[in-house]
């Protein structure tokens, strides 16, 4: 009996899970068969397809150790030429250097015979392009929040000496409704000779390409990214491109001509930002620091706080019945002027998929040759003095002021844009003031009266985003810290979890040399990513982190739905929002 107890006392401990998995990959025939069939790579098992490119595929996979979902970009190197291989190497180098809360995070790189696998975080919300294509243009506040995150991400890139050169809606991934990740750094490059280094490679998508890419032999990377950001802001607010053509040569002509239109429903600060960015001369475009300080963000935050109270009151059936009808536009006027309002613009966008839409628009164009009253014609070739004055000098805006409406609708008169003739400008001004302004005065006056409410307003989204960067931006996100005194609390917790999996501190320190090509570094980054996500959900649950309500465009769209569609679509929307909230890294 004593001998049996002695045998149990000296029994060998159970093999740690990490050692068991690595041993199975080398000796288990089932794992070898899965690798040969393309069902597994390393510690990752494929479970679905996300997208496909010319020479690559993006697959959804699960890490067998941590059970976390990741996105794996599988690149077939046998089909790539020398230039494409250099671009792939640049993408890995850039993602390794530019860790940031608003930039897609790289976990691991696995190289096999003829293929390279880039393992990154899985962003469940999909592309910004698909979101706009389904729901239509964004409200100003929503676009401002996304644009501010893009500015912070691009600022981080430029400060490290990198340029993206392929900023577009397809490369902006939606973590949640108000959080994004900038992705796809295949065209990125490092400016070794400084920010004014000349580049000569045509990169990116032609609709987002700056004029100098079409006209000059070389260009500077920073202003090219700024131009692409301006086109992206325009696309978010209009759901269409400022310069359109059926072929690249025709698109080149349109971009060099520089004529485009802005919706008159946008605010004056928003219009000025777009006009300031879309400038022909690269040296005249604003810097990232200037854009971060522009008045549009402050205006969007203030206007959102006012309109949210109005929307909430209108959504309450009791409050709607008790509402003062003097602020409502009569039905006879509403049906005549609905095309000028934001909701009318949504209906026009949603009805554009109708097969008769094209014929109706053609008939309307033949009926009248007057320019559209809902748009403001602009040009990228403008006087520099007026340009600087309009953008850099703040303006006083009262949300209930009639003068603000006139300014927001007619900020681009003949002094700023020479595309309008004086005769056409005067005719549009007289016609629009008598109808458009009268349509919008009452609702804005109603919103202004609610501004003195005792309700506490939410904090500025810029401060919230800056706190996110301060909390999440650290070198421990990509590599373990060597000094124990400087170790982040999340890193300490990660090391404890890795030790329970059989990964010792000595193994972690040795894996740093191999960088992202080490499976231990991949596990380390995935665990840091998961702990940050859990910390975010905990803050949201405890109320420590302020998360704004869903944006106005969703609530306005919900109020126009029928009772039968509300229950079905809202349940799916709530499910998607809850999933997005779980995967958000705030």
Phi, psi for 416 (deg, rounded to 5): -100, -35
308 pLDDT tier (thresholds 50, 70, 90): low
In this structure, of 216-225, 271-280, 467-476, 492-501, the range with the lowest mean pLDDT score is 467-476
Which is more confidently placed, 227 or 25? Answer: 227
C-alpha 339/C-alpha 353 separation (Å) is 17
Residue 54's alpha-carbon distances to 77, 248, 286, 365, in angstroms, are 12, 20, 35, 40
pLDDT score of 423 more than 50 = no
pLDDT value at residue 380: 86
Dig out the tokens for 113 from the structure.
């015979």
Task: Using DSSP, state whether 385 is helix, strand or coil.
Answer: helix
pLDDT score of 220 more than 80 = yes
Strand 162-163, strand 179-182: pairing = unpaired
- Note if 166 is an active site residue: yes
Phi, psi for 189 (deg, rounded to 5): -150, 155
Report the pLDDT averaged over residues 30-47: 91
* From 68, 166, 225, 519, the catalytic residue: 166
pLDDT value at residue 390: 52
Which is more confidently placed, 362 or 283? Answer: 283
Report the pLDDT averaged over residues 116-127: 92
Task: Using DSSP, state whether 503 is helix, strand or coil.
Answer: coil
256 pLDDT tier (thresholds 50, 70, 90): very high
pLDDT score of 416 more than 50 = no
Would you say 550 is a known binding-site residue?
A: no
Report the pLDDT averaged over residues 216-225: 90
Report the pLDDT averaged over residues 554-567: 42
Sheet holding 69-76, edge to edge: 40-41, 44-52, 56-63, 69-76, 115-121, 106-112
pLDDT score of 170 more than 80 = yes
335 pLDDT tier (thresholds 50, 70, 90): very low
pLDDT score of 435 more than 80 = no
Structure-token match 């109005």, residue found = 310
C-alpha 187/C-alpha 202 separation (Å) is 9
CA 36 distance to own-chain centroid: 37
Domains and CATH numbers, the chain: 16-121 (3.30.200.20), 128-308+339-349+373-454 (1.10.510.10), 480-583 (no CATH)
pLDDT score of 215 more than 90 = no
Q: Give 484-507 pLDDT, tens digit per residue.
A: 677 888 888 999 999 999 999 899
Q: Which of 523, 532, 480, 522 is nearest to 505 (CA)?
A: 480
pLDDT score of 17 more than 70 = yes
Task: Please say whether the beta carbons of 442 and 328 come within 8 A.
Answer: yes
Q: Which of 31, 165, 118 is nearest to 525 (CA)?
A: 118
Q: Which of 465, 376, 474, 487 is nearest to 429 (CA)?
A: 376
Task: Using DSSP, state whether 76 is helix, strand or coil.
Answer: strand
Mean pLDDT of the chain: 73
């Amino acid at each position: 009996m004593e001998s049996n107890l002695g045998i149990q006392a000296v029994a060998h401990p159970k093999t740690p899970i990490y050692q068991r998995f690595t041993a199975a990959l080398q000796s288990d025939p089932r794992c070898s068969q899965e690798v040969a069939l393309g069902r597994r790579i390393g510690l990752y098992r494929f479970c679905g397809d996300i997208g496909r490119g010319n020479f690559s595929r993006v697959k959804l996979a699960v890490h067998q150790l941590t059970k976390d979902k990741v996105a794996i970009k599988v690149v077939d190197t046998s089909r790539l030429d020398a230039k494409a291989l250099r671009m792939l190497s640049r993408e890995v180098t850039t993602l390794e250097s530019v860790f940031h809360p608003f930039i897609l995070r790289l976990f691991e790189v696995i190289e096999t015979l003829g293929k390279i696998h880039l393992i990154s975080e899985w962003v469940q919300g999909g592309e910004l392009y698909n979101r706009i294509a389904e729901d239509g243009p964004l409200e100003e506040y929503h676009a401002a929040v996304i644009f501010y995150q893009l500015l912070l991400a691009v600022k981080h890139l430029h400060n490290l000496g990198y340029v993206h050169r392929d900023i577009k809606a397809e490369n902006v991934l939606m973590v949640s409704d108000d959080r994004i990740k900038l992705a796809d750094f295949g065209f990125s490059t490092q400016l070794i000779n400084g920010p004014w280094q000349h580049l000569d490679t045509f990169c990116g998508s032609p609709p987002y390409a700056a004029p100098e890419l079409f006209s000059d032999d070389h260009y500077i990377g920073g202003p090219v990214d700024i131009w692409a950001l301006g086109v992206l802001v325009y696309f978010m607010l209009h759901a269409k491109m400022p310069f359109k053509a059926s072929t690249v040569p025709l698109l080149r002509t349109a971009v060099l001509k520089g004529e485009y239109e802005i919706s008159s429903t946008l605010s004056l600060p928003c219009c000025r930002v777009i006009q300031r960015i879309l400038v022909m001369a690269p040296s005249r475009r604003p810097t990232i620091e200037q854009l971060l300080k522009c008045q549009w963000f402050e205006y969007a935050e203030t206007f959102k706080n006012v309109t949210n109270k109005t929307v909430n009151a209108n959504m309450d059936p009791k409050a709607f019945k008790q509402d003062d009808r003097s602020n409502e536009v009569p039905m006879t006027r509403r049906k005549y002027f609905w095309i000028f309002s934001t909701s009318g613009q949504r209906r026009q966008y949603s009805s554009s998929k109708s097969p008769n839409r094209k014929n109706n628009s053609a008939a309307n164009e033949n009926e009248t040759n007057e320019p559209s009253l809902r748009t403001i014609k602009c040009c990228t070739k403008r006087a520099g003095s007026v340009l600087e004055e309009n953008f850099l000098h703040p303006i006083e805006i009262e949300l209930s002021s009639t003068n603000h409406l006139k300014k927001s609708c007619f900020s681009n008169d003949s002094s700023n844009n020479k595309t309008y003739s004086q005769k056409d400008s005067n005719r549009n001004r007289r016609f629009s003031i008598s109808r458009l302004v009268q349509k919008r005065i009452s609702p804005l006056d109603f919103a202004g009266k609610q501004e003195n409410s005792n309700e506490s307003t939410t904090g500025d989204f810029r401060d919230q985003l800056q706190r996110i960067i301060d909390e999440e931006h650290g070198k421990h996100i990509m590599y373990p810290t060597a000094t124990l005194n400087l170790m982040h609390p999340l890193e300490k917790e990660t090391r404890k979890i890795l030790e329970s999996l059989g990964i010792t501190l000595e193994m972690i320190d040795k894996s740093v040399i191999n960088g992202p090509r080490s499976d231990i570094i991949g596990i380390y980054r995935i665990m840091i990513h998961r702990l940050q996500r859990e910390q975010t959900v905990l803050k949201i649950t405890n109320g420590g982190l302020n998360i704004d309500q869903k944006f106005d465009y969703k609530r306005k769209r919900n109020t126009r739905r029928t009772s039968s569609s509300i229950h079905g679509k809202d349940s799916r929307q709530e499910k998607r929002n809850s999933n997005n909230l779980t995967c958000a890294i705030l």
